[in-house]
Amino acid sequence: MDTQLPTLRLKPKADAKRIRHGFPWVYGDDIVLDRRSRNLVPGALALLEDSERNPLALVAANPGTRIVARVLDLNPETQIDAAWVHAKIAQAFALRSRLFDAPYYRLIHAEADGLPGVIVDRFDDTLVIQPNTAWAEANCTLLANVLAEVTGCTSVFKNAQGRARVTEGLDDVNGPLLGTPPSKVAVPMNGATYMADLIGGQKTGLFYDQRPSHAFAARLAPGSRVLDVFSHVGGFGLAALAGGAQSALAVDGSAPALALAEEGADAMGRADAFSTRRGDAFDVMTELSAAGETFDLVVADPPAFAPSKQALATGLRAYERVAKLAASLVAPGGYLILCSCSHAAELSKFRAACVRGMGRAGRPGALIYTGFAGPDHPMHPQLAETGYLKALAFHCP
């Protein structure tokens, strides 16, 4: 351990045992913040002590934020250096190599892989990294070099978009860290082909987390007319076509995302069965219902309506409204899949909102599937935020 490291000390009321047992965050209310600790450079390494000055862990500090310290290692003697980073990335890479035959997956899932705030998605020879904490931002070059060394990938692109970086006081400037990343990559998944925009797309360019639920939807799809609402680049719709759907209509507010979805359908040889409609999802569902349209499989995978506890009540009302509108579009005997990526809307609350909305539409159904993020998005067992994704599939008589 570097004895010159600055220290952060817990207040007497803080639960040191929680940290010892693996909780990775330390909030500002639990830390003694004096002038010295407040002046720590964001991302600086520090030694975390309990209220009696016993060493607890090595942490990355950012005193100007709600989460003042993020645990890097519970062994205070550990050196946080290139070898330490290499071990973390190699462990994550070994897991994904067991899980997936093709090089398309989430490689690093932040705290769940022991690298606070670091998100890395792999697209064949290119890695897209989101350094969402001050520590990760300060170590971007090191992370990129070790990622390339471990995986053999030749290009690494930094995506600096998202709310998490704003709360850490970081900029939103994207750019290459290694090599020359391609602007667009064709990603095979569940028999479908998705076009990922690595440079200008949403998040890292593609959402890998819904892979298991895409596969389940494909099993319901043969011969079906499918409606994919909040489709992004065609996630559920293209998976359904790969599963044998008769047709798929993708609805989204983003013209670039729908254009990528069309490219994906064309690459699959199913362009004739795929159509898009740009517009507000609530308005489009209302218009389709007014026109008497129904579909054998309806999927709604909206953005996070409840990104925080403060937004929970409003978010649950939005999920209920989505469920009501989507359920009204399901043909008799059809299927409805409703999703949430809001960590604040835990499963029971989200399910209750969906059931209320379906009831208001007069279309109650039997729950036949509950899905979560795939295994390349491991959940930190003490962080509800890492278990954010839920998908519910109903059979509607």
Least Cα distance to 245 among 266, 226, 261 occurs for 226
Any residues with CB less than 8 A from the CB of 247 and at least 6 apart, and which?
225, 226, 273, 274, 275
Could you please report the per-residue DSSP string of 111-134?
Answer: GGGT-TTEEEEEETTEEEEEE-SH
Tokens found for residue 145: 């070099």
Which one of the listed residues 339, 341, 354, 396 is annotated catalytic?
341
CA atoms of 375 and 100, how far apart (whole Å): 10
Sheet of 25-27: strand order equals 7-9, 45-49, 55-61, 67-73, 25-27
Instruction: Please classify residue 313 by burial: count the beta carbons closer than 10 Å to its beta carbon, then call 0-12 exposed, 13-18 middle and 19+ buried.
Output: exposed
Looking from the CA of 72 toward its CB, the CA atoms found within 13 Å total: 26
DSSP string computed for 341-363:
--TTS-HHHHHHHHHHHHHHTT-
Q: State the burial class of residue 327 (Cβ atoms within 10 Å of its Cβ: 0-12, 13-18, 19+).
A: buried
Q: Catalytic site residue 339?
A: no
CA–CA gap between residue 179 and residue 145 (Å, rounded): 11
Point out the residues that are catalytic: 341
